[in-house]
A and B are shown apart, each in its own frame.
Chain A
């Protein structure tokens, strides 16, 4: 598992208080919302705040969120792409 992907999973678990869950239990390709982890709109806001706080990356609008929250892999790519600047 890449270092960044692991940190993303740890942030998701910590920010959303997914107690008892470990990073290896979150599949890279599973959707964060809907059928995957089954997160809701409040979780989405928590993730937006967590991503900004931990990685310094802003998710500006719903379109960006839709792209970034597709899966852990998509979110990791999004953070890697936007934290370069």
Chain B
């Protein structure tokens, strides 16, 4: 069991990782986010038809990717530097248990590239590569 708030500085309403299932620092992370009707952003996205904004799926992958770092991210200057080849194949809905699978692709000069997949019950909802910069 990983203590998520001890590792990530994100807090309500922007902490988007609920559980870390597998973690090999620098290599691979598998985490989960459980979507509920209580999510604040679902109130307005959309009225009568709640679905998780695609950009938040990318944010979930970025936060899950934070666990690739061995040390806690509190106080670390790490920012999203790019998003590549993002595909949204199906919406994430209230009740979904989202699996966030993130793999490190490589790093050079303070930049790290990761490849992530959000899936639900074996179905891919979103795939993207993220570039993360450490200042």
Q: Does B113 belong to the interface (CB within 8 Å)?
A: yes
A34 and B82 CA atoms in complex are apart in Å by: 20
Contact present for B111 and A42 (CB under 8 Å): yes
Contact present for A48 and B106 (CB under 8 Å): yes
Q: Does A62 belong to the interface (CB within 8 Å)?
A: yes
Contact present for B105 and A49 (CB under 8 Å): yes
Q: Does B81 belong to the interface (CB within 8 Å)?
A: yes
A41 and B112 CA atoms in complex are apart in Å by: 11
Measured CB to CB, the closest approach of chain A to B62, in angstroms, equals 15
Instruction: Mark B residues whose CB is within 8 Å of A.
Output: 81-82, 105-113, 131, 133
A65 and B111 CA atoms in complex are apart in Å by: 13
Measured CB to CB, the closest approach of chain B to A78, in angstroms, equals 14
Which residues in B have their C-beta under 8 angstroms from that of A32?
none
Some 18 contacts from A to B, beta carbons below 8 A apart, are A41-B81, A41-B109, A41-B110, A41-B133, A42-B81, A42-B131, A45-B107, A45-B109, A45-B112, A45-B113, A45-B131, A46-B113, A48-B106, A49-B106, A52-B106, A59-B108, A62-B109, A65-B108
Contact string against B for A residues 30-44, beta-carbon threshold 8 Å, 1 for contact and 0 otherwise: 000000000001101
CB within 8 Å of B: which A44-60 residues: 44-46, 48-49, 52, 59
Chain A to chain B: the 6 pairs with minimum beta-carbon distance, closest first:
A48-B108, A45-B108, A45-B111, A49-B106, A62-B109, A42-B82
Which residues in A have their C-beta under 8 angstroms from that of B108?
44-45, 48, 59, 62, 65
A48 and B109 CA atoms in complex are apart in Å by: 10
Contact present for B109 and A49 (CB under 8 Å): no
Which residues in B have their C-beta under 8 angstroms from that of A46?
113
Interface centre among A42, A45, A46, A52 (most CB of B within 10 A): A45
